[in-house]
Amino acid sequence: MGALLALIPGKDLIYGGLIVALLLFGIHEVNHLKAEGAAHEVAALKVSSDKLIAQEAAHVALVANAYAASAAKTTETLDEQTQATAAAQSTAAQRLSDFNAYRRSHPTVASAGGAGGSAGQGTNGGGSDSERLSSLEQVALDLAGATAAGHNALSACMADRDALTGKP
């Protein structure tokens, strides 16, 4: 091999070495530029991503504030409805109590409801007719109160759903 290299003039060896060095430098520079371009692209994507994240956080905060206001309004409305229902229930219970007291103090009013029927009607359970009537009235009053409370809860749920979905 040394004999073959001796046939190549020194000037050509220098040019060959220079060509190989330039090729290696070119390969190195191409790889360096690719890495540098990728780093710039990653930096640009990070800036863009941070900007989008900040915009989304601001939007989420805006939606959360709107929902919080709507939820507070819904809760306030539900509280008002619950208080109104409780007041109506209390008023109805008081009227029922007053009517029962009046009916007990006036036997003709108490017996007027059963005057047209026979003596055997309504004697399935224990207690007098007025006690059964009173318990049925109380059950009806409780049922009305439960229905009103259910309606209040349903309207609050619907208002909350509408606030979440953005319905007016």
Q: What is the pLDDT of residues 11-58, one digit of tens each?
A: 888 999 999 999 999 999 999 999 999 999 999 999 999 999 999 999
Give a yes or no: residue 19 inside a domain.
yes
User: Which residues constitute the domain of residue 72?
Assistant: 10-105+128-165
**Domain total in the chain:** 1
User: pTM, whole model, 2 decimals?
Assistant: 0.50
Burial of 74 (C-beta count, 10 Å sphere; 0-12/13-18/19+): buried
Q: Which carries the bigger pLDDT value, residue 160 or residue 135? A: 160
Asked whether residue 6 carries a pLDDT value surpassing 80, the answer given is no
Give a yes or no: residue 119 inside a domain.
no
Count of other CB atoms within 10 angstroms of residue 155: 14
